[in-house]
Amino acid sequence: MHKSRLCYVTIDVSNLDEGAAFWAQALSGQLEPISEASGGIYRRMKLPHADLRILLQLVPEGKACKSRMHLDIESDDVEGEVERLVKLGAKRLRHVEERGFAFWVLVDPFDNEFCVLQPEFPNLLEALPNWPPPKEDTPKRA
């Protein structure tokens, strides 16, 4: 017998430093050391509330079509969370209302889609601290 588990959600970026800055602030992640051999291709981030890691992967070509996998971020204040993420460099793509749900689809600075939605797991969300205001010197892509 063997064991397995999901260990990474990998996000393609065209600039590792900008990607790390955006996603670290968006998810309150902490960068972890990575081998020298992998440092030019990857950045690894630990999330404060999960054993799952975010892995940023340097991919020089731009996005060609809709993402086939994406992150969903739940919030007890969807509009407030969307505004916070926009200040970090995300862009609103579209607001969706379907099947009794309303949520936002955004893109990160590298055109990767992700969603902000109402709480799906309120007991887990309740245990987290509130977000501080965004830093004024947050780098944004043009």
Q: What is the pLDDT of residue 7?
A: 83
Q: What is the pLDDT of residue 139?
A: 54
When comparing pLDDT for 78 and 136, which is higher? 78
**Angle CA 125–127–133, to nearest 5:** 75
| Confidence label for 127 from pLDDT (cuts 50, 70 and 90) | confident
Q: What is the pLDDT of residue 109?
A: 96
The full DSSP string for 94-123 is: EEEEETTEEEEEEE-TTS-EEEEES-SSHH
Q: What is the mean pLDDT of the chain?
A: 87
Res 140 pLDDT > 60 = no
Res 106 pLDDT > 70 = yes
